[in-house]
Each structure stands twice: as structure tokens, then as C-alpha cells.
Amino acid sequence: MRIATANPLAEQFFGQGARLLARHALADVMTFEDTRMPDRIAAAEAPLSVREAAVVVRGLGPRSIEITTAPVADYPGWQLMTIQDNAAFEALGEDTGGSENLFLRGPEILAHEIRNPLAGIRGAAQLLARKLDARDIPLTELITAEVDRVAGLIERMQMLSGRTVPQAVPCNLHEIVRRAIAVIEAGSLQGQPDVVIREEFDPSLPPVLGEPDGLVQVLLNLLANACEACAGMRDARIWVRTRFSSGLQLQVGEDRAPVRLPIEIR
């Protein structure tokens, strides 16, 4: 197996640039303790996952890694390989002990299991960006940004085990809203092509204190719910408005459409 290209994280793992790596076969920069492994990877016609693979990285020594591979569509014989170094994960539990910590370490374990496919998605987006026209690049940038956002949420899950609180920072609410809208429009969450999302922003709003990735997730949930509520409607529109209104908690829309509230909050 020869290396065709590598993303920045792979460059960091191997300690070499993509151009230098592309001159070598995989066996030149990383050897497996199980000598059958390279043939298994090369022959795989479906996604393959290998846990705790013992390897030796040239110039860096032994490593315990997790590998996922997947065939590249329309490129026979090509494989997309994702590598996760286990050293960082093993360090998480060095200072924990006893059964009372098992529950708290649950988010760490779950986060570890999610990181591999996330890294694969990010790597695929970066490689794809090199082959696309300029007009399609924003889509790969959106994929990369969303993967980074989800990775940030995973880090917050890991923080739960340490009982730390994410730090609020000044956020541009309009940028957060537009990012959430872009994800909804690019994905399949709408479930209905007739739903149109409109924006009506107040440019005078100052930055707000918040956790950006968490705010994006809240807006994604709200927009997805709104899209689902519009299922089956003709000319459905969702309006996203920002404005400053001191002390106001509930307001009937400007179209004066009836608002039905649950009995318990009327």
C-alpha cells in the first residue's frame, strides 16, 4: 500500500509532511506487529476497524493505535485510513481509580469511541477539498467546521468527568444563527424541500456571552423541530429574527397567527 496524501493530523502523527509521506509506502513509515495486517487492510472491500493495533512508527517508536479504513468510492483499490493514537486516551484514566469513578468516566469512553469516525469524516472532507471546484469548497468547509464543533462537544463530555464548567466567551449571535441555518440547508434535516428559512437580524445587537458550539446545537435543535412541524405544509417558511426587547418573554408573531400553548403554561 502506497500513501497518496495525508491530512494535517496525519502529518503530525507521522512527523512528516504530506509531500514526503506521498513518496513512501505505508510499510516505510509504519510497521505492524501483526504482519498479516497490511494484507487485511489492502484486501478489505468494506469498512474495517482494528482496535489496539501494535505498530512501530519510523522515528517515533512503538505505538498502540486504532485504525479504521473504508474503500474510496469510484477509486478501485483506494482506501481512506484513519488512525487514532491510544496514548492520549490511556492518560485520561491514570489518576482515576475505584468503582465510584466508572460512571464519571463514561463520557470519556463514549467520546473515545466517537473520535475515530469523526476524524475519518474530517480527513475525507480535507482530501475532497483538494479535488473540488472553488464553488464547492464551502461545503467541505462546512463539513470540517461541523466535525470540529461536534469534537468540541465531545471534549465537553470529557469535562463532565472532571466536573468543570465550559467558559462563556463573547459570541456574535448572527454568525451562530447563520452557521446553524447552513447546516440545516446543507443536510437532510429539513425532510421537506419546500421549507424556506428566512433571516431578519438586528445589526445593532452586541456580542452575547455564551458557549458557541453549544449555542449552535440549541439552534440546530430548534430549526430541526420547526422543519419537522412544517411537514406537509405548502409554502412553509421559518423566520429567524434577532432583536433586543427588554423583559419580553413571549410575543405573538407579527402575522397574528394563533399561538396554541399547553394548558399548564396558559
Q: Which residue has the cell 483506494?
A: 78
* Beta strand 30-32 pairing with 48-57: antiparallel
Tell me the pLDDT tens digit for each residue of 121-145.
Answer: 777 777 777 777 888 888 888 888 8
pLDDT at residue 191, as a whole number: 46
Q: Would the pLDDT of 102 be above 60?
A: no
Q: Please give the full DSSP string across 55-98, using - where no structure is assigned.
A: EEETTTEEEEEEEEEEEPTTSTT-EEEEEEEHHHHHHHTTT--S
pLDDT at residue 260, as a whole number: 59
Q: What pTM did the predictor assign?
A: 0.44
Q: Which residue has the cell 490511556?
A: 90
CA angle (196, 122, 93) in 5-degree steps: 120
Architecture of the CATH domain 169-245: 2-Layer Sandwich (3.30)
Q: Would the pLDDT of 181 be above 60?
A: yes
Tell me the pLDDT tens digit for each residue of 15-61.
Answer: 888 888 888 888 889 999 888 888 888 877 777 888 888 899 888 88
- Per domain, the residue ranges of the chain are 8-162, 169-245
